[in-house]
Amino acid sequence: MHSRLRPELPLFYNDVYRVDLPDGHRFPMEKYRLVREGLQGELLGRVNGIPAVSFAVSPTASLDDLCTTHDKGYVERYFEGRFTNRENRTVGFPWSEASVKRSLSSVGGTVAAMHAVCADGELRDRRPGARRTPPSLFSGHIAGGTHHAFSDRGEGFCVFSDIAVAANVALRDYPETIRQILIVDCDVHQGNGNAVLFKSKPEVSTFSIHCKANYFSEKEDSDVDIEVEEGAGDEEYLSLLSERLPSLVDHVRPDLIFYQGGVDPLEHDRLGRLSLTREGLRLRNRLVYDTALARGIPTVLTMGGGYPKDLDPASEDFGHIVRSHRDVYEDAAACINTSAF
């Protein structure tokens, strides 16, 4: 157990880097602002029963950090607007200077969240085999989860992999304390990019639980892949997750966990093909958090997918997605507050 003066959940957000998409574009860009505003209203507005939560604008990722993971030529071509039309279509966004800033902040916020749980770990306990006590056990980025990016190409609304970059930066910057990392990917789509990026890197283990009928590109091999049947609901999904995740964590013994908390398994999601309820997703969140907390493992939360059937931000469908995204962070705050440190 950890002893701290106060539990704190540092959160980073990048909705200030706004990208105006063409009319009819299917990406729900407004959800990021709505999730952040909802969290600020809920978590900053309460004192008793909620841990201290901080909010900060996501920094933009550096070239050095990006190149821990991505091909330098690929990164520079994107910076300079030299993607082909086909590359832009595959990523899913038209190129603009605003989109570059948003992509960089999508990575930079996850890197910053990683530093928030790792930064002073090396200073607290240098005994062989001892776990560090981070300033915060959980941190989060209200964006990111861009798990379909590869070293030299992107797809599925992902230019760079924020989690992969943050994982590689953690291994680079905290070699004494971060030796093993686990990516827990609960998006409805397989984390194919991260599976490839870490295929030959035993320091990072990849776990993906996703819909069996929802591959939009070639399937890749994670260290552990769990395919959930189309239409599955809470009981089947949670049974599979609870059967595999805690034992995997005990086997890997990670020093750091990244949680891709996509909400597209939700029954209201336009693209998901699963039938989880909001309560089912909250139980999923709690399972991940309880597993990490029980073992004292610092955990970084990212947003991932969530696609409303109605793209009007004022619609009920849009509200379902926003509410479930908020739950990912609010459930973390509640878990921190109710746990003994």
Domain coordinates in residue numbering, the chain: 8-338
* Closest C-alpha to 303, from 274, 280, 332: 332
Among 12, 13, 15, CA closest to 30: 15
Q: How much is the pTM? A: 0.92
Look at residues 320, 313, 230 and name the one whose alpha carbon lies nearest to residue 268: 320
First CA to last CA across the chain, in angstroms? 5
**Considering 70, 147, 148, 320, which one is annotated as catalytic?**
148
Q: For 258-285, what is each residue's pLDDT tens digit?
A: 999 999 999 999 999 999 999 999 999 9
Query: Structure tokens of 31?
Result: 């959800």
CATH of region 8-338, choose from 3.50.30.50, 3.50.50.60, 3.40.50.510, 3.40.800.20 = 3.40.800.20
Q: Which backbone phi and psi does 323 adopt, to 5 degrees?
A: -60, -45
Distance in angstroms (rounded) separating the CA atoms of residues 320 and 263 = 10
- Helix (H), strand (E) counts: the chain: 11, 8
pLDDT digits over 181-222, tens only?
Answer: 999 999 999 999 999 999 999 999 999 999 999 887 889 999
Q: Is 148 a catalytic residue?
A: yes
Q: Give the three-class secondary structure for 211.
A: strand
Question: What amino acid occupies position 215?
Answer: Y
pLDDT tens by residue, 80-89: 999 999 999 9
